[in-house]
Amino acid sequence: MSDHTFNLEQYLEELKPLINLDCGTYTPAGVSKVADIMSEKYQALGWQVSRELFDEKVGPGLLATNKPDAQAYDIMLIGHMDTVFPEGTVAEWSMTTDGEKAYGPGVADMKSGLLNIFRAISELPKDVADRLNICVCMNPDEEIGSIYSGEWLKRVAQKSRYVLVGEAARADGSLVKARKGLAAYKVEFKGKAAHAGNEPEKGISAITELAHWITTLNKENNFATGTTLNFGVVSGGTAGNVVPDYASTELDIRFWNNDDYALLEEKINQLIANPLLSGIEVQLTREAYKPAFTPNEGSEQLMALIEKTGQDMGLDITWQAVGGGSDANLTGALGVPTIDGLGPIGGAMHSRDEFLVLDSIGPRLTLLRNVLINLAETINH
Ligand SMILES: [Zn+2]
């Protein structure tokens, strides 16, 4: 099918109910409504839809498949149903369009991606759909790092040959072939308070230990390899004349190479095992973690297929490696060939300026559909 059958107005009508509904990660009732809408669509195609329950703090996950009895999948598609916007957002900011763009909470991140995945699938020729074992996983908590749905996504990815993530293409149209890993920590230091004048020798300064961490770990910053760390927040102490018994910091680590991160983790554990000041107590909490995903041989083949597919429809495919994480990190780090950015073009995510580029919707939908068709050619059961 070529682009001329794409009806933008119809598409936007279908998109609107997905936007005009508060469905931030911690608004499970709203995410659940998105799940209802998407379930209905896939069920109308004759697909089987099952719900996955994680935690009452977040909505359900949804797995839609054309082969309910399959032990493995050729293609896993991923899209998230949550946004970063809190309850009450839609009342003051709902979907609008002008000649070029659509605006609204989650319009690019990633309701249009969810819809493009569905549309691409529903427009597959029947023989192609029959040949492929496809599953679509829609999760409720990507915006908080998929802390509840991550294991589920990884389980399904391990049974899949390829993973395609429907996050928006970059503002310049690029797809995403790599994403940096990240680890975020809260570190707390407990020492012992003492009068700084009368008996400073009886104190154990939590701030001194914290300073030791900062000077030691900052030496590991490497802008060339992209392994970087940042102490973004520090606090501690009560008064100038008191040896501080408490200090805390937030440490953010980014990396392209998962081995680099493993080394850093070791250094951190060494700091805990061998403190500068004896008697200090350190509590380390890893609050977020995503491994880096970078192309392997399988994903390079997948990239070549996507480039060729684009070429055949006159669409120049470019690639970006980006600093921010997505669910592609989880599946890509398992070694399952993963490509992200297969949604329409959008930008200014997580802000009130979030936008979706209207004339990218049809072509990106066709691209995804044709990629599925071309993948079916390469797969023999
Ligand atoms: Zn997203």
State the pLDDT at residue 95: 98
The answer to whether residues 52 and 196 belong to one domain is no
State the Cα–Cα distance between residues 39 and 21, nearest whole angstrom: 16
Q: Is residue 341 within 8 Å of residue 77, measured between CB atoms?
A: no
Same domain, 157 and 37: yes
Q: Give residue 268 CA to ligand 1 midpoint distance, Å.
A: 31
Distance 333 CA to ligand 1 centre (A): 18
Q: Which of residues 290, 323, 346 is at a domain's end?
A: 290
Total tally of structural domains belonging to the chain: 2
Question: Hey, what amino acid is at 122?
Answer: S
339 CA distance to ligand 1 middle (Å): 14
Helix axis angle, 112-122 to 358-378, nearest 10°: 50
The reply to whether 166 and 188 lie within a common domain is no
User: Cα of 274 to ligand 1 centre, how many Å?
Assistant: 40
For residue 85, report the distance from its CA to the centre of ligand 1, in Å.
12
What is the CATH classification number for the domain harbouring 102? 3.40.630.10
158 with 250, same domain? no
CA of 109 relative to ligand 1 center, distance in Å: 4
| 348 and 297 share one domain | yes
Within this chain, do residues 191 and 282 fall inside the same structural domain, yes or no? yes
Query: Is residue 31 domain-shared with residue 83, that is, in the same domain?
Result: yes
Cα of 223 vs centre of ligand 1, distance in Å, is 26
Range of the domain at 348: 3-180+292-378
What tokens appear for 235 in the block?
Answer: 């606090």
Tokens, residue 84:
């970063």
Q: Are residues 219 and 116 in the same domain?
A: no
Residue where one domain finishes, among candidates 290, 306, 334: 290
| Residues 190 and 274 grouped into a single domain | yes
Instruction: Give distance in angstroms: CA of 18 to centre of ligand 1.
Output: 14
Q: Measured in angstroms, how far is the CA atom of residue 132 from the centroid of ligand 1?
A: 26
Query: Do 221 and 269 share a domain, yes or no?
Result: yes
Q: What is the domain-level CATH number for residue 207?
A: 3.30.70.360
Q: Which residues of the chain have pLDDT under 70?
A: 1-4, 380-381
Alpha-carbon distance values, 215 to 131, 230, 262 (Å): 58, 11, 19
Looking at residue 381, its pLDDT comes to 63
CA of 369 to the centre of ligand 1 (A): 20
- Centre of ligand 1 to C-alpha 160, Å, is 21
Measure 166 CA to ligand 1 centroid, in angstroms. 8
Cα 108 to ligand 1 centre (Å): 8
* Residues 167 and 191 grouped into a single domain: no
Give the distance (Å) from ligand 1 centre to CA of residue 363: 20
Query: Measured in angstroms, how far is the CA atom of residue 168 from the centroid of ligand 1?
Result: 7
pTM of the model: 0.87
Separation of CA 266 and ligand 1 centre (Å): 31
**Same domain? 160 vs 18:** yes
Q: Give the list of residues 6+ apart from residue 108 with CB closer than 8 angstroms, or none.
A: 168, 343, 344, 345, 346, 347, 348, 349, 354, 355, 356
| Model pLDDT, residue 288 | 87
Residue 129 pLDDT: 94
Of the residues 290, 321, 339, which one is the last residue of a structural domain? 290
Q: How far is the CA of 307 from the centre of ligand 1 (A)?
A: 23
CB 262 within 8 A of CB 176: no
Distance, CA 368 to ligand 1 centroid (Å)? Answer: 17
Task: Return the pLDDT at 1.
Answer: 45
Cβ atoms 216, 268 nearer than 8 A: no
How many Å lie between the centroid of ligand 1 and the Cα of residue 203? 48
